[in-house]
Structure 1
Amino acid sequence: MIRTHHIVPTLPLWNRLIYQFNATGLVSQVWDLYSEMLSCGVLPNVFTHNILVHAWCKMGHLSLALDFIRNVDFDVDTVTYNTVIWGFCQQGLANQGFGFLSIMVKKDTFFDSFTCNILVKGFCRIGSVKYGEWVMDNLVNGGICRDAVGFNTLIDGYCKVGEISYAFELMERMRNQGVFPDIVTYNTLINGCSKRGDFDRAKSLIDEILGLKKKKDCAFRKVDDVNDDDGTMNLEPNLVTYTTLISAYCKQHGLSEALSLYEEMISDGFLPDVVTYGSIINGLCKRGMLTEAKALLKEMDKMGVNPNHVVYAILVDSLFKAGSAWESFIYQSQMIVCGVSFDLVVCTTLIDGLFKSGKSDEAEAMFCTLAKLNCIPNNITYTAMIDGCCKLGDMDGAESLLREMERKQMLDQNIMPNAYIYATLIDGHFKAGKQDAAVDLYNEMKLNGLEENSFVVDAFINNLKRCQKMEEAEGLCKYMMSKGLLLDRVNYTSLMDAFFKTGRESDALNMAEKMAETGITFDVVAYNVLINGLLRLGKYDAESVYSGIRELGLAPDCATYNTMINAYCKQGKLENAIKLWNEMKDHSEGFLKLVRLKRAMDVLNEMLLWGICPNITIHKALLNACSKCKRADTILQMHKRLVGMGLKVNQEVYNSLITVLCGLGMTKRATLVLNNMTKEGISADTVTYNALIHGHFKSSHIEKALATYTQMLNEGVSPGIRTYNLLLGGLLAAGLMSKAHEILGKMKESGLDPDASLYNTLISGHGKVGNKKEAIKFYCEMVTKGLVPKD
Structure 2
Amino acid sequence: MRNHDIVPILPLWNGLIHHFNASGLISQENDCAENGSFQMQPNLITYTTLISSYCKQQGLEEALSMYQEMVTNGFLPDVVTYSSIITGLCNHGRQAEAKMLLGEMKNMGVNPNHVSYSTLINASFKAGTIMEALSLQNQMFVRGLPFDVVVYTTLIDGLFKAGKPKDAEDMFGILLDHNIVPNFITYSALIDGRCRLGDFGSAEYLLKEIEGKNAVQNIVAYSSIINGYVKRGMLDEAVRVMRRMVKQNIMPNVFIYAALIDGYFKAGKQEGALALYNEMKIVGLEVNNFIIDAFVNNLKRFRRMKEAQALVESMMSRGLLLDCVNYTSLMDGFFIEHKESAAFSIAQEMSKRNISFDVVAFNVLINGMLRLQKYEVKSVYDGIRELGLAPDVATYNTMINAYCKRRDLENALRLWNEMKSRGILPNLITFNTLVGGLSAAGETEKVLDLLNEMTLMGIRPNLTTHRILLKSCLKSRRADTILKMHEQLAKMELKLSQAVYNTLITAFCRLGMTRKATSVLKEMEKRGILPDTFTYNALIHGYCISSHLKRAFATYSQMLNEGLSPNVATYNILLRGLSVCGLMKRADELFGEMKERGIDPNASIYDALVSGHGKIGNKKESIKIYCEMITKGFVPQTGTYNVLISDFANAGKMGQARELMNEMQLRGKSPNSSTYDILICGWCKVSNQPDLDRGLKVSYRTEAKRLFIEMNEKGFIPCENTLFCISSTFAKPGKKVDARKLLKELYKRKNI
Please classify the TM superposition score into its range, dividing by the shorter chain length.
0.5 to 0.7
Shift of 1:590: 7.6
Residue 442 (str. 1) matches residue 255 (str. 2): no
CA distance in 2, matches of 1:551, 1:147: 46
Give 2:447's aligned residue. Answer: 614
Contact 2:260 2:273 in 1 (8 A): yes
Give 2:21's aligned residue. Answer: 159
2:258 pairs with 423, 432, 439, which one?
423
Give 2:56's aligned residue. Answer: 195
Bigger Rg, which one: 2
CA distance in 2, matches of 1:256, 1:217: 27
CA distance in 2, matches of 1:425, 1:624: 32
Residue 563 (str. 1) matches residue 398 (str. 2): yes
Give 1:499's aligned residue. Answer: 334
Contact 1:320 1:328 in 2 (8 A): yes
RMSD: 4.6
1:261 to 1:605, Cα distance in 2 relative to 1, 3 A: closer
1:291 pairs with 119, 131, 137, which one?
131
CA distance in 1, matches of 2:12, 2:236: 47
> What secondary structure is seen at the aligned counterpart in 2 of 1:371?
helix
Residue 463 (str. 1) matches residue 302 (str. 2): no
CA distance in 1, matches of 2:393, 2:480: 23
Letter in 1 for 2:339: R
1:583 to 1:651, Cα distance in 2 relative to 1, 3 A: farther
1:589 to 1:401, Cα distance in 2 relative to 1, 3 A: same
Give 2:343's aligned residue. Answer: 508
Uncovered stretches (5+) of structure 2, i.e. residues with no partner: 1-7, 502-526, 528-752
1:201 to 1:324, Cα distance in 2 relative to 1, 3 A: same
CA deviations 1:304-350 (Å, max 9, x no partner) are: 00222222322333333344444433433443444443211111012
Shift of 1:421: 1.5
Give 1:218's aligned residue. Answer: 74
Shift of 1:554: 4.6
Shift of 1:462: 0.6
1:365 to 1:496, Cα distance in 2 relative to 1, 3 A: same
Shift of 1:370: 1.9
- The correspondence of residues 593-632 of structure 1 with structure 2, limited to 5 A, is 593-594=428-429, 603-608=437-442, 614-618=447-451
State, as a whole percentage, how many aligned pairs show the same letter: 38
- The correspondence of residues 743-754 of structure 1 with structure 2, limited to 5 A, is none
Shift of 1:619: 7.0
Which is worse superposed, 571-580 or 167-176? 167-176
2:491 pairs with 658, 663, 673, which one?
658
Which is worse superposed, 265-274 or 558-567? 558-567
> What secondary structure is seen at the aligned counterpart in 1 of 2:241?
helix
Contact 1:558 1:594 in 2 (8 A): no
Shift of 1:508: 1.0
- The correspondence of residues 46-445 of structure 1 with structure 2, limited to 5 A, is 158-159=20-21, 162-169=24-31, 187-199=48-60, 201-202=62-63, 216=72, 218-220=74-76, 238-371=78-211, 374-409=214-249, 415-445=250-280
1:361 to 1:261, Cα distance in 2 relative to 1, 3 A: same
Shift of 1:515: 2.4
Letter in 2 for 1:293: A
> What secondary structure is seen at the aligned counterpart in 1 of 2:211?
coil
- The correspondence of residues 449-488 of structure 1 with structure 2, limited to 5 A, is 449-488=284-323
Contact 1:558 1:589 in 2 (8 A): yes
CA deviations 1:416-462 (Å, max 9, x no partner) are: 22211111121122122221222222222222222111111100101
Contact 1:191 1:244 in 2 (8 A): yes
CA distance in 2, matches of 1:646, 1:613: 21
1:437 to 1:655, Cα distance in 2 relative to 1, 3 A: closer
Shift of 1:539: 0.9
CA deviations 1:21-68 (Å, max 9, x no partner) are: xxxxxxxxxxxxxxxxxxxxxxxxxxxxxxxxxxxxxxxxxxxxxxxx
CA deviations 1:676-696 (Å, max 9, x no partner) are: xxxxxxxxxxxxxxxxxxxx9
Shift of 1:495: 0.9
Contact 2:404 2:434 in 1 (8 A): no
1:634 to 1:542, Cα distance in 2 relative to 1, 3 A: closer
CA distance in 1, matches of 2:9, 2:193: 44
TM-score, structure 1 as length reference? 0.53
CA distance in 2, matches of 1:340, 1:438: 42
CA distance in 2, matches of 1:645, 1:567: 31
Contact 1:430 1:463 in 2 (8 A): yes
> What secondary structure is seen at the aligned counterpart in 2 of 1:660?
coil
1:172 to 1:521, Cα distance in 2 relative to 1, 3 A: closer
1:241 to 1:589, Cα distance in 2 relative to 1, 3 A: closer
CA distance in 2, matches of 1:636, 1:260: 42
Letter in 1 for 2:448: N
CA distance in 2, matches of 1:343, 1:580: 41
Letter in 2 for 1:218: G
CA deviations 1:656-684 (Å, max 9, x no partner) are: 643526x7799xx9xxxxxxxxxxxxxxx
Which is worse superposed, 307-316 or 445-454? 307-316
Letter in 1 for 2:56: K
CA distance in 1, matches of 2:62, 2:434: 50
Contact 1:542 1:564 in 2 (8 A): yes
CA distance in 1, matches of 2:45, 2:115: 16
Letter in 1 for 2:366: I
CA distance in 2, matches of 1:656, 1:325: 22
CA distance in 2, matches of 1:285, 1:542: 27
Shift of 1:169: 4.9
1:559 to 1:175, Cα distance in 2 relative to 1, 3 A: closer
CA deviations 1:711-766 (Å, max 9, x no partner) are: xxxxxxxxxxxxxxxxxxxxxxxxxxxxxxxxxxxxxxxxxxxxxxxxxxxxxxxx
Uncovered stretches (5+) of structure 1, i.e. residues with no partner: 1-145, 221-236, 410-414, 670-695, 697-791
Letter in 1 for 2:54: C
CA deviations 1:149-170 (Å, max 9, x no partner) are: 9998885564366421223456
Give 2:615's aligned residue. Answer: none
Letter in 2 for 1:362: S
CA distance in 1, matches of 2:315, 2:195: 32
Contact 1:592 1:618 in 2 (8 A): no
> What secondary structure is seen at the aligned counterpart in 1 of 2:447?
coil
Which is worse superposed, 458-467 or 564-573? 564-573
1:192 to 1:316, Cα distance in 2 relative to 1, 3 A: same
CA distance in 1, matches of 2:344, 2:138: 44
CA deviations 1:253-286 (Å, max 9, x no partner) are: 3434433433333333321211121122233333
CA distance in 1, matches of 2:87, 2:427: 35
CA deviations 1:102-145 (Å, max 9, x no partner) are: xxxxxxxxxxxxxxxxxxxxxxxxxxxxxxxxxxxxxxxxxxxx
TM-score, structure 2 as length reference? 0.56
Contact 2:130 2:423 in 1 (8 A): no
Contact 1:355 1:363 in 2 (8 A): yes
> What secondary structure is seen at the aligned counterpart in 2 of 1:417?
coil
> What secondary structure is seen at the aligned counterpart in 1 of 2:493?
helix
CA distance in 2, matches of 1:495, 1:371: 40
Contact 2:90 2:119 in 1 (8 A): yes
Shift of 1:392: 2.1
1:486 to 1:519, Cα distance in 2 relative to 1, 3 A: same
Contact 1:613 1:646 in 2 (8 A): no
> What secondary structure is seen at the aligned counterpart in 1 of 2:303?
coil
CA distance in 1, matches of 2:49, 2:75: 21
Residue 521 (str. 1) matches residue 356 (str. 2): yes
CA distance in 1, matches of 2:321, 2:284: 19
